[in-house]
Structure 1
Amino acid sequence: MSAALTLAGPDQLEKILPLVASYHLEAGIDSTDASRMTGIAPLLDGIPQGCAYLIGPPRAPIGYIVITFGWSVEFGGLDAIIDELYVRPGVRGRGIGSEALIALPRALASGGLRAIHLEVDRSNEQALKLYQRAGFTPRNNSVSLSKRL
């Protein structure tokens, strides 16, 4: 099975929405059909703040990655955050997540991206191993904090 990445566009909305719903359910994220639509549709329409990639065949994707863009003085320019990464449970453990995380920087590097960040629950050892295999390292003395507006 291939972890090929395809930039998702408006015509893939019906393919990605069920994946987002599955991820939110599995992760315990309280969301509605309307909030998921509001969150994903602008990314597929091409807003400059982010994008979504389908993992696997575009006709029958096995996962997705959502990237949002920002600017970092520390890293010297454009950076990105992996906002969501999901691979269907039935195909996990086959290296698909690792392949996707290795392919992602290649897909984004030509746009001048300087760094990619993500956050993970410290107790999720499986995810930590996945991210470390893909070259992500913890930042010393750094903690991710959020405030909902």
Structure 2
Amino acid sequence: MSAALTLAKPEHLDRLIALCAAFHAEEGIVQSDEQRRAALAPLLEGQPYGVAYLIGPPRAPIGYIVVCFGWSVEYGGLDAIIDELYIRPGVRGRGIASEALISLPKALSGAGLRAIHLEVDHTNEKAIKLYRRAGFSPRDNYMFMSKRLA
């Protein structure tokens, strides 16, 4: 099975919403399909703040990655956060997520990215192992913190 990345476009929105809903159900994230549509559609229409990639064949994707862009003085320019990464349960454990994470920097190389970050539950040993295999490492003395504004 291939972990090929396809930049998601407006015609992929319904497939992406279905994958996102499955991920949110697994993670206990409460959000309606209308809210997902409002959050994802701008990325597929060229919003410069992020992109979504389908993993696998675009007509029947097996997962997705959403990447949001930012700016870092520390890293010297454009950086990104992997906001969501999801692989369908039936195809997990086959190296697809690893392959997708290793392919992601290549897909984004033309954007001049200086760093890619992600957030992971510190108790999710399987995910931590996956991210380490893909070249991510924790930053000593740092933790990701958030404040909801709306």
TM-score (norm 2): 0.98
Q: Which runs of 5+ in 2 are unaligned?
A: none
1:80 is displaced (CA, Å) by 0.2
% identity of equivalent residues: 68
TM-score (norm 1): 0.99
User: For residues 78-100 of structure 1, what are the alpha-carbon distances to aligned partners after superposition, in whole Å with 9 as ceiling and x for unaligned?
Assistant: 00000000000000000000000
Deviating beyond 4 angstroms after TM superposition, the runs of 4 or more aligned structure 1 residues are none
Query: Which amino acid is 1:35 matched to?
Result: Q
Query: Which amino acid is 1:134 matched to?
Result: A
After superposition, where does 1:37-116 map in structure 2 within 5 Å?
Answer: 37-116=37-116
Q: Which runs of 5+ in 1 are unaligned?
A: none
1:14 is displaced (CA, Å) by 1.3
Query: Which amino acid is 1:96 matched to?
Result: I
Query: Which amino acid is 1:112 matched to?
Result: G
Find out whether 1:123 has 2:128 as its counterpart.
no
Query: Which amino acid is 1:54 matched to?
Result: L
Identify the residue that residue 20 of structure 2 maps to in structure 1: 20
Query: Which amino acid is 2:107 matched to?
Result: A
